[in-house]
Structure 1
């Protein structure tokens, strides 16, 4: 996989919405709102995406992070976010992780191809969930 293909996949270029943009212009109140027949809130999905993005990037860097102890660790079962600052901090953390992935890809893309591909697929999948929930909430008008 080339750096260009990785970057396009990471940002959904020509394929789907950029996962770093699905949280833009969304209030923490809407992010924590439970939608009928959906198992998680947008905030919980963001927490999950950040958790696994951090985990994968640790592996890329050659570390051996411990797997999650339970679902609560990776899904933030409790209400998330509980306040504006918590939401903004987590969104910024997620976006910083995407930038870190691009930086690491410059150095390690060839020998860590599978991990980078897992990150792209995971973020893409959950970004689509966020868009669906935003549409249900009336908070998504992009095509």
Structure 2
């Protein structure tokens, strides 16, 4: 079980097969967070805020039978294309990190396979894999936007 938890921690934090959120969001000029290059339907801000909302929902669902999920899809996506200020951006990144640490703590102290009492068959293993999969998908989109904006790392 220890090996499984260690692997889950790796993929939740970005794994070794792809960039993690911290690297994907590092050093982005604030004025570019709301850009939608090539008529994409979302900005970096919208993707990061969506990751925050979805991860928060999965964390709260995993621990609280009284949790009410946001309405899909409207309440999982921010309406605004850019954060109102740098403080909002920083707060979103911090909440993602804090919620992820709380979820990782949970998977280290609870049975991964036990069905979540108020769920419909879900367990912590499923929620961990879903958080990792969902985040990886949208992190890849962030990297694509950064490439299109010319603000991603280049290799020599």
* TM-score calculated relative to the size of structure 1: 0.89
Note if 1:74 corresponds to 2:76.
Answer: yes
Gaps of 5+ in 2: 114-123
Q: Which whole-Å deviations, capped at 9, do the CAs of 1:95-127 have from their partners, x for residues lacking one?
A: 222222211111135131111110110011111
1:47 aligns with 49
Deviation of the 1:89 alpha carbon = 1.2
2:131 aligns with 119
Deviates more, 1:25-34 or 1:49-58: 25-34
Note if 1:138 corresponds to 2:140.
Answer: no
- Residues of 2 paired with 1:43 and 1:77: CA distance? 10
Deviation of the 1:69 alpha carbon = 2.7
Superposed counterparts of 1:33-112, under 5 Å = 33-69=35-71, 71-108=73-110, 110-111=112-113, 112=124
Deviation of the 1:68 alpha carbon = 2.2
Deviation of the 1:19 alpha carbon = 2.2
Residues 4, 137 of structure 1: CA spacing in aligned structure 2 closer, same or farther, 3 A cutoff? same
- Residues of 1 paired with 2:36 and 2:104: CA distance? 32
CA contact (8 A) 2:61 2:69 kept: no
- Residues of 2 paired with 1:107 and 1:27: CA distance? 39
Residues 67, 44 of structure 1: CA spacing in aligned structure 2 closer, same or farther, 3 A cutoff? same
Residues 88, 27 of structure 1: CA spacing in aligned structure 2 closer, same or farther, 3 A cutoff? farther
Residues 64, 20 of structure 1: CA spacing in aligned structure 2 closer, same or farther, 3 A cutoff? farther
The answer to which structure, 1 or 2, has the higher relative contact order (CA under 8 A, 6+ apart) is: 1
Gaps of 5+ in 1: none
CA contact (8 A) 1:71 1:77 kept: no
Deviation of the 1:51 alpha carbon = 0.3
